[in-house]
Chains A and B, each alone.
Chain A
Amino acid sequence: MPARIDPGPVYAMVRKAMGLDGAVSGPSGGDGPARSLYIHIPFCFHKCHYCDFYSIVDSRDRQKAFTARLVRELRALAPFSGGLPLETIFVGGGTPTLLAPGLWVELLAALDDAFDLSVIRSGIRAGRGEFTVECNPETATPELMGVLAGGGVNRVSIGAQSFDPAMLKVLERWHDPENVGRAVELAAAAGIDRRSVDLIYAIPGQTLQGWGRDLERAISLGVTHLSAYNLTYEPNTAMTMRLKQGEFAPTPEELEVEMFGLTRETLTSAGLDRYEVSNYAVPGHECAHNLAYWRQKQWIAAGPSASGHLAGHRYKIVARLGDYLQERDDGFAPLIEHEARDARRALAEIVMTGLRLREGLDAQAVLARADAIELGLGERGLGERIEREVQRWERVGYLLDDGGAGGGRRWSLTEAGVLFADGIASEFIARIG
Chain B
Amino acid sequence: MQIRNFSIIAHIDHGKSTLADRLLQATHALSDREAREQFLDGMDLERERGITIKASAVTVKHIHNGEEFMMNFIDTPGHVDFGYEVSRALKACEGALLVVDASQGVEAQTVVNAYLAIAQDLEIIPVLNKIDLPGARPEEVAEELEQVLGFAAEECLAVSAKTGQGIPELLSAICDRLPPPRKPVTTKTRALIFDAVYDDYRGVVIYARVFDGRLKVGDKIRMMGLDRMHTITELGKYTPKQVKVKEVGPGETCYIVAAMKTLGDVRVGDTITLEQDPAEEALSGYEPPRQMVFCDFYPATSDKKGNDFEQLREAVEKLSLNDASFTFAPVHSEALGFGFRCGFLGLLHMDIVQERLEREGDVEVVQTAPTVSYKVDMRGKGGGIEEIEVHNPADLPDASTIVAIKEPVCRVEIMVPKQYIGDVMKICMDRRGIYRNQTYVSETREILTFEIPLAELMYDFYDKLKGMTAGYGTMDYEVIEFRTDTLVKVDILVNGEPVEALSLITHRDKAELRGRHLLVRLRQQIPRHQFEIPLQAAIGGKIIARETIKGFRKDVTAKCYGGDVTRKRKLLEKQKKGKDRMKSVGSVNIPQEAFMAVLDTGE
Contacts and interface: CB of A to CB of B under 8 A. Distances in A.
Contacts of B552: 420, 423
B553 A257 contact: yes
A226 to B, nearest CB: 13
Contacts of A231: 558
A277 B560 CA distance: 9
A277 B558 contact: yes
B556 A421 contact: yes
Interface string A304-348: 011111000010100000000000000000000101000001001
A290 to B, nearest CB: 7
Kindly name the residue among B304, B529, B530 whose own CB sees the greatest number of chain A CB atoms within 10 A: B530
Interface string A390-415: 00110110100000000000000000
A167 interface: no
A345 B569 contact: yes
B562 interface: yes
B311 interface: no
A354 to B, nearest CB: 11
B305 A352 contact: no
Q: Bin chain B's interface residue count.
A: 20 to 34
Interface in B562-582: 562-563, 565-566, 568-569, 572-573, 575-576, 579-580
Contacts, number: 117
A392 B497 CA distance: 13
Contacts of A241: none
A433 B304 contact: yes
Interface in A190-246: 229-232
Overall SS of chain B's interface:
loop
A427 B561 CA distance: 21
Question: Of residues B304, B529, B568, which shows the largest number of chain A Cβ atoms within 10 Å of its Cβ?
Answer: B304
- Max chain B Cβ within 10 angstroms of own Cβ: one of A229, A305, A429: A429
B584 A380 contact: no
B555 to A, nearest CB: 4
B560 A309 contact: no
A418 interface: yes
B236 to A, nearest CB: 51
B304 A380 contact: yes
Given A392-B587, A429-B576, A430-B576, A420 B556 contact: yes
B444 interface: no
B531 interface: yes
B380 interface: no
B246 interface: no
Nearest to A425: B572
Interface in B408-456: none
A276 to B, nearest CB: 8
B330 interface: no
Given A299-B562, A308-B562, A314-B565, 17 more contacts: A38-B562, A229-B558, A232-B559, A256-B553, A277-B557, A293-B562, A316-B563, A339-B566, A348-B569, A352-B565, A379-B304, A392-B586, A395-B586, A420-B556, A427-B576, A427-B589, A430-B575
Interface of A: 38, 229-232, 253-254, 256-257, 260, 277-278, 290, 293-294, 299, 301, 305-309, 314, 316, 337, 339, 345, 348-349, 352-353, 356, 379-381, 392-393, 395-396, 398, 418-427, 429-430, 433
